[in-house]
């Protein structure tokens, strides 16, 4: 009964917020920029396939799968004077009491020119600094096959001298249908407004299936950005050539609405594993804006 109440409450809150918001400008837009090379190489089809401490960002319910401590650090080389990173840590508690985690997601745009008049030379420069600090908890087998998780987030954004703050929660779940199929549902950024704008509330649901004795994983997610009235369909696949090397590719359909052209929506990459260490790379193009490269280093112990 408890798990039914938990899920029902999350769905009702998300639906109410979506209906109230309508189409409009959202704040803290950096939360829409995914982190984690593995997940982005899969075209963001990550509600089921996300792993380790990176699950703090994608689906806190997936933290329940952890059997050992996980440390993850990501860096995204974005566009001119723009960079993003994430550092996360998760650890199982003793006596099967669940998994806890914490993470920091940041995005910085530096060297923005400030002018008080029409001039060739700027009067000064300033930065746009964004940060989200998350504290997560997840538990497996709330009922057979069902894992639940939640993250409490403190969000801040600073543009020149203006600073806005907000508090939000992410609610995540996974359900193992059978040994091959797993489904997931996630509510992201459910919380207060940040300044005059709503947070980018996102509903994410998906499923993944494994083939070839687990070597091939195929996933599909549906993303609904409630305040932006945007829908994306994420498709991704990962093939483990052996225990050391994996290849990934994915596509996020619906990016044509962004009108960036080129290969926007595509993701591709690979993963390397050396004992306790993992190194993931993703190539994610953004059409006219340029190409981005994502790196994630993981350590399990």
Helix (H, G, I), strand (E, B) or coil at 278: strand
Nearest-angstrom CA–CA distance, 217 and 227: 31
Whichever domain contains 59, its CATH number is 2.40.160.60
Q: Structural domain tally of the chain?
A: 1
Alpha-carbon Rg for the chain, nearest whole angstrom, is 19
Total-model pTM: 0.84
Expressed as residue numbers, the domain containing 57 is 2-300
- The residue written with tokens 């914490």 in the block is 102
Alpha-carbon distances, residue 154 vs 59, 102, 220 (angstroms): 17, 11, 29
Our CA dihedral for 33, 38, 44, 45, rounded to 10 degrees, sits at: -160
Structure tokens at 214: 């687990």
| Average pLDDT over every residue of 27-42 | 92
Q: Which helix (H) or strand (E) holds 270?
A: strand 266-274
Alpha helices in the chain (DSSP H): 2-21, 37-41, 55-58
Q: Over the stretch 94-105, which tens digit does the pLDDT of each residue have? A: 888 999 999 999
Region of poorest pLDDT, from 8-17, 62-71, 121-130: 8-17
pLDDT at 213 exceeding the cut of 80:
yes
pLDDT: which is higher, 217 or 122: 217
């Amino acid at each position: 009964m408890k798990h039914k109440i938990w899920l029902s409450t999350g769905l009702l809150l998300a639906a109410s917020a979506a209906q109230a918001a309508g189409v409009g400008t959202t704040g803290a837009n950096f939360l829409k920029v995914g982190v984690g090379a593995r997940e982005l190489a899969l075209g963001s089809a990550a509600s089921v396939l996300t792993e380790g401490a990176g699950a703090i960002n994608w689906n806190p319910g997936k933290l329940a799968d952890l059997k050992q401590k996980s440390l993850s650090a990501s860096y995204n080389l974005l566009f001119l004077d723009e960079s993003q990173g994430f550092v996360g840590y998760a650890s199982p508690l003793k006596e099967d009491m669940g998994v806890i985690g914490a993470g920091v997601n940041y995005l910085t745009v530096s060297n923005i020119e400030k002018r008080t008049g029409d001039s060739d030379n700027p009067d000064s420069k300033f930065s746009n600094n964004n940060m989200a600090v998350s504290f997560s908890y997840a538990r497996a087998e709330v009922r057979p096959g069902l894992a639940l998780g939640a993250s409490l987030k403190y969000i801040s954004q600073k543009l020149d001298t203006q600073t806005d703050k907000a508090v939000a929660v992410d609610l995540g779940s996974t359900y193992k249908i059978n040994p091959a199929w797993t489904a997931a549902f996630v509510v992201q950024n459910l919380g207060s407004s940040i300044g005059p704008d709503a947070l980018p509330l996102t509903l994410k649901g998906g499923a993944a299936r494994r083939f070839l004795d687990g070597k091939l994983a195929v996933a599909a997610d549906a993303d609904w950005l409630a305040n932006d009235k945007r829908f994306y369909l994420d498709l991704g696949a990962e093939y483990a050539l052996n225990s050391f090397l994996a290849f990934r590719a994915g596509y996020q359909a619906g990016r044509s609405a962004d009108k960036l052209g080129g290969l926007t929506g595509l993701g591709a990459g690979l993963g390397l594993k050396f004992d306790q260490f993992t190194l993931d790379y993703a190539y994610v193009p953004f059409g006219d804006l340029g190409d981005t490269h994502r790196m994630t280093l993981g350590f399990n112990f």
